[in-house]
Amino acid sequence: MSTGDRFQPVPEDHFTFGLWTFGNPGRDPFGDPVRPLPNLESIKRWLGILAEIGAYGVNLHDNDLVPFDASAAERDRIVAEFKKALKDTGLKVPMATTNLFSHPIFKDGAFTSNDPKVRAFALHKTMRAIDLGVELGAQVYVFWGGREGTEVDASKDPVTALKRYRECINFLCEYCIDNGYQIKFALEAKPNEPRGDIFLATTGAMLAFIYTLDHPDMVGLNPEVAHEHMAGLNFSHAVAQALEAGKLFHIDLNAQKLCRFDQDLRFGSEDLKGAFFLVKLLEDYNWPGMRHFDAHAYRTEDLDGVRDFCLGCMRTYKILKEKVRQFHEDEEIQAILRELNAGDEPLETRMAQYSRANATYLRDQFGYSDVADRATRGLGYERLDQLVIELLLGVRGS
């Protein structure tokens, strides 16, 4: 990359990667790892690579760094070495989370397990992982309930499961309050995989769940592109609902072909128009959160390919951000939008505030006299969308 490359990532862009992303060894349900399994030495090497290509930080599950069966002394040694590597590279740790899905103990769930000892162990593990996250400086703590679900509906009453889920999240909110931790929780939805059906399957379902908690102010959302696409939903609409509710605490950026398993592909590598409108939403509303990639390189790739993957995620985000600028400066697009959003201030003022006078007006006086004309009038969306396509294809804009 030349020094004048305006799409060269820099720490100010706030791009972050999970340790599990660049550390992904490329195993899949039908194949063994194709790259070395991660360890502390490889993590330290990758911190140097990420710093060199302009990333801001890394995120982690507890066991991405500290092995499940590590002793307290081993845990402290590993954390100390990791903190030194962070200091040496200048990378931050904005988010942390718990692995409540890999170890077989969680094979039938963690917070929603029928076995109270498993639920207690999940709380035990999560409190220690929150301690680690706080120690590393994390401000957001993610909960992805990958094992919270069923294959056999007879095995778990869904109402009871949700009550157990809530009990654990409430307990952990109290833990953070009791310890004075300034950390916010971000719940991540997914419809299925690894469970046949996962509870709280979409971002919208998670948002509703938040308002049933004891401390809803502490809890927000971590929507993921691939997960909403697996549910056949428009990701920008899910993010907009979280943003508008003040609950977009974190985000998992990646890409996904429709109607497939969770691919966690390089950001922007599929559905480029969807990625553009997501970047537009985040940038138009000046969302302050980390631009976090929860994705991994293709199984075909070696470690150089993984570096290409990391750089590609960040570059595509920056290129789409430039396209957003061009969109706002494109006079033909803006003229169409001005007309679409011309509005009717007197009428909108009446609708914005109920009063008997406004109700009487809208019910008795207001007549949609030109209904037939409006009903048949073309809205010009074919032209508008073609302009966006041509902008993205690079034949418009500076």
Catalytic residue from among 62, 64, 108, 294? 64
How many other CB atoms are found less than 10 A from the CB of residue 60?
A: 25
Site string for ligand DIG, 42-81 (x = CB under 6 A): ----------------------------------------
CB of 224 vs ligand DIG, minimal distance in Å:
5
Partner touching 97 among Mn ion, ligand DIG, none, CB below 5 to 8 Å by kind: ligand DIG
- 3-state DSSP assignment of residue 150: strand
Q: Which residue is listed with tokens 């301690």?
A: 131
Q: How far apart are CA 59 and CA 52, in angstroms?
A: 17
CB of 97 vs ligand DIG, minimal distance in Å:
4
> Does 252 engage in binding with ligand DIG (CB under 6 A)?
yes
CB of 188 vs Mn ion, minimal distance in Å:
5
The neighbouring-strand residues paired with 270 are: none
Most distant pair of Cα atoms in the chain: their distance: 78
Angle 235-391-337 from CA coordinates, rounded to 5°: 75
Partner touching 142 among Mn ion, ligand DIG, none, CB below 5 to 8 Å by kind: ligand DIG
The verdict on whether 103 is a catalytic residue reads no
Q: Which of 108, 252, 270, 330 binds Mn ion (CB under 5 A)?
A: 252
The verdict on whether 61 is a catalytic residue reads yes
Site string for ligand DIG, 212-241 (x = CB under 6 A): ------------x-----------------
The neighbouring-strand residues paired with 387 are: none
Instruction: Let me know if 5 is exposed, middle or buried by CB neighbors in 10 A (0-12, 13-18, 19+).
Output: exposed
Instruction: Render 116-128 in DSSP notation, one character per residue.
Output: HHHHHHHHHHHHH
Stated as kind and residue range, the H or E segment containing 215 is none
Stated as kind and residue range, the H or E segment containing 320 is helix 303-329
CB of 176 vs ligand DIG, minimal distance in Å:
18
Q: Which of 132, 142, 183, 282 binds ligand DIG (CB under 6 A)?
A: 142
Site string for Mn ion, 304-343 (x = CB under 5 A): ----------------------------------------
Instruction: Let me know if 166 is exposed, middle or buried by CB neighbors in 10 A (0-12, 13-18, 19+).
Output: middle
Q: Is the peptide bond before 194 cis (omega within 30 degrees of 0)?
A: yes
Give the phi and the psi of residue 269 in degrees, each rounded to 5: -80, -10
> Does 264 engage in binding with Mn ion (CB under 5 A)?
yes
CB of 144 vs ligand DIG, minimal distance in Å:
4
Angle 112-188-38 from CA coordinates, rounded to 5°: 95
Catalytic residue from among 13, 14, 32, 61? 61
CB of 252 vs ligand DIG, minimal distance in Å:
5
Cβ distance to Mn ion smaller for residue 226 or 333: 226
Query: Looking at 217-225, 230-238, 241-249, 334-342, which segment touches Mn ion (CB under 5 A)?
Result: 217-225
Looking only at residues 176 through 205 of this chain, which bind ligand DIG when binding is defined by CB under 6 A?
188
Residues 6+ apart with CB under 8 A from 168: 110, 111, 119, 122, 123, 126
Question: Which residues here bind ligand DIG, judged by CB under 6 A?
Answer: 18, 20, 97, 142, 144, 188, 224, 252, 294
Question: Which residues here bind Mn ion, judged by CB under 5 A?
Answer: 224, 226, 252, 262, 264, 294
Q: Which residues are catalytic?
A: 61, 64
